[in-house]
Amino acid sequence: MRLSIKAMHYFLTAVDLRSIVRAAQHRNVVPSAISSAIDAVEGEFGLKLVQRFPAKGIQPTAAGIIIAQKIRRLIEEYDDLIIGGNELRDALSGKLSIGYYAPMAPAFLPATLAPLMMENPEIRLQCIECNNESAQLGLLDGTFDVIVFVSDSVHLGISCDTLIDAPPYLLLPPTHPLAKRRSVAFAELADLDMVLLDLPFTTKYLRGLFEGIGFEPQIVATASSSEMVRNLVGAGVGCSILNMRPLGGSTHSGKPVVEIPIRPPVQSLRLVLGYLDGNPRRVVSAVRESILAYFGTPDARKLIVANKGKTRRRTVSDQAADELE
């Protein structure tokens, strides 16, 4: 700025008090600072804005009165800007935009966000389903405040907190011959009809798992949502590989499915919380804290199917459990 806010404040004070000396006392500065500010404002506009009368003070000219009015409005807007910015930084309110990688986040985001919103009813939440790439780009361009995505090819400028490592598991209908197993070897999946979760990152990840053991999966169906995959499996179309599961377990169609760990452990997906470093709004920091706190609870571990010693298969309904006895 060619004219500083300080210079405009000094000029306005001198005009209001009609005195350089009294303006200096009011601003707690030397009179020469007020005089220099008047010179700066007059020099900027090329106008005579005040008449100076030694030992008698100053008198604004007609142009000086007009400029003083404009400066007053500008300073008021500036002060409103500073106050509003501070409130935006400190308040637990306002719009909060979260981008999330679709197959993962719906299992836990509502549980982490609902308590914060109930305690702070002025928060307005916007959740937007993304793929891994669009989530990161949205964070960098300011569309999102935070993102939940898979830690793969993370863009420069994005900081991440690890939430959970989610190993792949086999999802199948309870009538399948493998449904009674406590775990299954990855090589045993070679001859299975598979339902593939067909999303940009997920497809690459799943095909990489199969290529790692040297066979091509027999894909009989694809779907762009994990819930559709679960329903297709529940209907008996085929089996599938997923990494996270809903806590309730049941499919939309009401059909039971069985979740079985895969052995030996293969590449997991690392779910992370992405954000930009700096001085975030208080509401953004609160959301980050809430999500991190959730992933320190036992409920978060229920989102994955891990192969640990005596881990049993998990059936999503009592009805399915009865069928397996």
> What does the pLDDT average to over 300-306?
88
> What does the pLDDT average to over 291-319?
69
In which residue are the tokens 């377990």 written?
249
C-alpha 300 chain-centroid distance: 18
Q: φ, ψ for residue 112 (rounded to 5)? A: -85, -30
Task: Answer whether residue 233 shows pLDDT above 90.
Answer: yes
Name which of 113, 130, 152, 112 is nearest 303 in CA terms: 112
What sign does the CA torsion over 126, 127, 130, 134 have?
positive
* Token pair in block for residue 30: 């030397």
Name which of 126, 147, 125, 124 is nearest 135 in CA terms: 147
Question: Do 322 and 264 contact (CB within 8 A), yes or no?
Answer: no
* Euclidean distance between CA atoms 280 and 183, whole angstroms: 44
Task: Answer whether residue 2 shows pLDDT above 90.
Answer: no
Question: Do 196 and 240 contact (CB within 8 A), yes or no?
Answer: yes
- Beta sheet of 146-150, edge-to-edge order: 123-130, 94-101, 146-150, 269-275, 159-166
pLDDT classification of 315: cutoffs 50, 70, 90: very low
- Indicate the burial class of 198 (C-beta count within 10 angstroms; 0-12, 13-18, 19 or more): middle
pLDDT given at position 134: 93
CA distances from 41 to 49, 74, 128, 153 (A): 8, 14, 49, 53
The fraction of the chain above a pLDDT of 90, given in percent, is 50
pLDDT given at position 295: 92
Residue 274's H or E segment, with its range, is strand 269-275
Percent helix / strand / coil, the chain, rounded to 5: 45, 20, 35
Question: Do 173 and 252 contact (CB within 8 A), yes or no?
Answer: no
* Token pair in block for residue 29: 């500065």
Query: What are the tens digits of pLDDT across the range 105-123?
Result: 888 898 888 888 888 888 8
Q: How many residues in the chain? A: 325
Query: What are the tens digits of pLDDT across the range 147-184?
Result: 999 998 899 999 999 999 999 999 999 999 999 999 99
Task: Answer whether residue 18 shows pLDDT above 50.
Answer: yes
